[in-house]
Every structure is written in C-alpha cells, then in structure tokens.
Structure 1
Amino acid sequence: MFRLTQAQNARETSLMMTTDRSRYGALLLLVSMLMLLCLNQVLNLNLFHAINGLSPKVPQWLQLAITDLGHGSTLGTIVLICLLRRPELMPRVLTASLLSMILVPLLKQYFDAPRPAAALDFLYIVGETRLHHSFPSGHSTSAFLFAGTLLMVMRDKKSKWALLMGADMVALSRILVGAHWPVDVLAGALLGLSCAYVASYIPLVRMSPKRWGVMAGVLLITLLACQYKETSSQMAWQIIGLRWGLLLLASILVIRQYLQARQPLAPRKLARA
C-alpha cells in the first residue's frame, strides 16, 4: 500500500514546470525595434501627444489605479500572491528584481532625461508632477519583469496574452498620466524582459512548506512596512484601497499557508483492489 501526502503531490507538481524561451527572443527583438524607432524625436513626441491626448477621456482614478500596478510595493504584493502558488519561482523573482533595482537607478542617473512636464508647455498630468530622471520607466520595468518571469513558465496562451496586455496597460498609463515618453516605457519594457530572461537560468528550487511559510511572512511584513511608510493623505482613496486590499488578501493567504504548513498531513490511502 502506497501513501502519498499532499505536500509530496505539490512538490511533484512543481517539478513539472518547464522553462520555455522559444518565442521570448522574438518578443525582445520586437520591443527593441520599437524602442529604436522611438529614438526619433519627432515620432516619440507625436506618439506621446496621441496617447496623452486620450487622458481626459479616461477617468483619473482608473489611470492612477492602472499605473499603480507597476509601483514597487503594489506589484510586490501581487508577486507575493502569485509566489504562494509557485514558490519555486522565488530565486528567479529575487534575481530579476535585484538586477532591475540596480540598473534602473543607474540608468536614470546616467541619462538624467527630462520628463514631459519639464519639456512641454501643454500636456495632461494625472497624479504627481515629476521633472527629472525620465529614462527608463521604472513602472514599465517592474511590470514587464513580472510578466516576463511568468511568460517562460506558463503554458496557457490566454494567460500569456493577459499578462502581456496587463504589462502593456501599465506602460501606456505612464504616458497617459504624463509621466514618461514612449521611448521611456519601451526601454523599461526591454529592461524588465531582459532581467527576467537572465533570471530564467536560475534553477527552480523546491522549498519545504514550513520554510516557505516563514519566507512569505518576512516578505509580507516588509511590504506592510513599505506601504505604511508610503501611504499619505494626499493619495487618492482608490489607490489606498487597492494597495491595502491586495495586502489584506496576501495576509490572509500567507496566514493560511503558514497554518497549513504547521498541521500534520494525514496520509491518503489508496483503495484496495
């Protein structure tokens, strides 16, 4: 008589995850070509006006909500929720995130490109007005880093398209709110996808439920501390609700994960012939 615990089944399922980079190079090439095209100042400016000109037609709270999905703490909470289902991706996520946290500030400081608000007399601005360090877009980098990490391990095509659409919406929202030029968001997308590609060579690691429960708790506490520090009375209530709603969901899932890890799992008996 064989006995299989639920934990063993989960670990066996995680081993079935494979990394598929077959079409990832084509995506990198496409984004690279679009970025090179937008290096043309006329095209970059015309695209900005075309996209930013749509801002009055979209509710401001919706623009802020979409663009906030690329914010570090908000996206970090979403990543944590996803990792609760696929903890073996943790090393890749940490590696890609570390690369982006190093490269984005360095590139911003090196180029020190003016933002649209510093270069144009008229544009639509939603949210905070910033003038410096435009290239590349950090929100776009984060969104495409997350999407790229999952693209290479997902099998469902509809889910892949949904991920890309979500990342595209975050990138476009940065132009819509007047924070970045098109070339900025394309450079951010390329950087995020590249970081995810480099991190994809990190092997998947199995973790015991107890160890993962502790790590998830540490990540949750870090996100709560960051969010508490960043929340201010000047923020739109929709953004505050979005961020803390995601954190509440993550807290519930982390607590459930921890409690399940502490409970002894009863063996499942196979039916006798």
Structure 2
Amino acid sequence: MRCSSTNICNNYKSLLEEARSTPTVVSQSNIQILLVIAIVLASLAGIGYSMGGYQFAFLEINHLSSYIYPTLLENLTVFGDGVFLLALVLLFSCRHIRFHWTVLFTTIVSAIVVNLLKDYFAMPRPPAVLDPEAFNLLGRAYKSRSFPSGHSMTAFLLATICFCYVQNLYFKVSIMTLAVLVGLSRVLIGVHWPADVLIGGSLGVVLGVAGVMVTAKWKAGICAYVHLFTLTLLVIACIMIFVDGNDYKLALPLLYVVSAAALFRVFKNYIWVR
C-alpha cells in the first residue's frame, strides 16, 4: 500500500465517476410504504390528542421505563442524536457519495424545519410540567422546545433514506423498527410527550422521502467541492463526540467506538490508498 497524492486523487476521482454514472432509482412502492407510515404516525397523534390532549399516554408509557435497564435506554435514544447518526453514516457508507449528498440535503432542510417548529410552538417538556416524583427521568431535565421531537425526526429521517437506498427487506424492517424504538425511548426517559414523537417521526419520513426524490434528480451535490464539504462535516461530527461527549453518559462507550471506527474508515478509504 502506498500513500501518495497521486493515488489519493485518482481514488477520489474514481469514486466521483462511479457516483455520477450510477443513477439513484427511487422505487414508487418504497415511497408509498413510507408515506403510509407517515400518515399512520400523524393519525395516531391526532387520535391521541383528541382523546387525551397533548399529554396523552405519557405516564402510561413512561412508567414502563422502570422495567428497562437505563444503559439500554440511553444507548437506544442516542440513535436519534444527529451528531451520532452522522458518525454512523460515515462508518457504514464511507464511500457512497450519492448517499452523502442526500444526507447533507435532508439534514439541512430538517434542521431548519424542526428548529422553526420548536421555536414557533415553544411547548414545555414533561420536566417543566409534571412533579418530578410523578414520572421517570433519565439524563438532563430538558424543559422547553418539546414539539416536535428532534431525535424522533432525525431517526425517522435517516431510516427513510436508508429504506430508499437499500434493497434488503430485513434491513428495511430493522431500520424502521429502530426508529420506532428511538421515538419510544424519548417518552420512556421522560423528555418528550408521545405527540412530539409521533409528529416528529411523521415529519422525518416526509422530509426523508422529499430529500431522496430531490437529490435523485438534482445532482449538484455529486461534485468534489460539495462532497468534500460534506465529508468534512461528517469528520467534524466524529471529532465533536470525543470533545463534547453526550448528555447520556452510559452511551459514551458506543459513541466513542463508532466515531473512532468511522475516522479509521475515512483514513483507509480516502488517504491510505493503493
């Protein structure tokens, strides 16, 4: 193996050419399934709200956390953390430039949408409303900007993108199940109402579908400048995990391992090349 500027440039050019020559096929059946999921999530939120108000089913779900190990809950909920998910993207799709373009586009759009909605509605979280003895809380007691759940939106967003890009049915079901569990964990650890999670998940699916469809036709991101910018952001996300850590301390070993492995993959695939 050799590490030279010529090899690095040639390797990168081949990755770009492969990305440009391989079209993204958006399956209509996948889109239909995903939109049904979004409708179901939004409908459950509407039904729950009409029957029990904004706080419907929170205590019933949250009290179940007494039977679940805190380590499991904290390791599960970080799969909705945007920085950690970017590290996962780098780990499992290090060379997939088209996928990176879709992730960049949808991440920017979803970040704008979720922050605008959080600021507009400014709904209080459970720790700001309920007596501390009335529910179970893990981690930091966030009190504001509850609606919608950013973790749930991010988890369903990335799950939707993966659902469209991969062909394996088992993986599709697994990634969507994981997104559901991430959303559920936000209620179990006591930082979101079920309505936040359901609407956040629905928005994540819709934005994910839109992002896949837009980036399949708009190929502006499949160029060296945009992709190197994206790759830099992904690397920074990994470094931030080591620098800033995470609110959920029991999940730090998982975060550190994933980040270190992702950075190694970047070195192996982009720098230390044949």
TM-score greater than 0.5 by the shorter chain: yes
Q: Look up the equivalent residue of 2:18 and give its one-letter code.
A: R
Q: What letter is aligned with 2:191?
A: A
Give the TM-score of the pair, scaled to structure 1.
0.82
Any residues of structure 2 matched to 1:211-250 within 5 Å, and which? 214=228, 218-231=232-245, 236=249, 238-250=250-262
Q: State the distance in 2 between where 1:80 and 1:14 align.
A: 22
Larger Cα-atom Rg: 1
Give the direction of change, closer, same or farther, for the CA distance of 1:13–1:214 in structure 2 (3 Å limit).
closer
More helix by share: 2
CA distance in 2, matches of 1:137, 1:125: 16
Matched, 1:203 2:216: yes
Query: Aligned to 2:172, which of 127, 146, 160?
Result: 160
SS state at 1:84 partner? coil
2:186 corresponds in structure 1 to 174
Q: Paired residue for 1:109, among 104, 110, 119? A: 119
**Matching residue's letter, 1:231:** G
Q: CA deviation at 1:38?
A: 2.5
Aligned pairs for 1:39-188 (under 5 A) are 39-40=49-50, 42=52, 45-121=55-131, 122-188=134-200
Q: Which amino acid aligns with 1:96?
A: T
Q: What displacement does 1:50 show?
A: 1.7
Q: Is contact 2:123-2:146 (8 Å) kept?
A: yes
For 2:60 and 2:80, the matched residues in 1 are separated by 22
TM-score normalised by length of structure 2 = 0.82
Percent identity over the alignment is 26
Paired residues in the alignment total: 254
Contact 1:213 1:254 in 2 (8 A): no
Answer 1 or 2: higher relative contact order, Cα 8 Å, separation at least 6: 2
Gaps of 5+ in 1: 1-5, 264-273
Q: 1:36 aligns with which of 29, 46, 53?
A: 46
Residues 6-25 of structure 1: matches in 2 within 5 Å? 11=18, 15=22, 17-20=24-27, 21-25=31-35
Question: Alignment RMSD, CA only?
Answer: 2.8
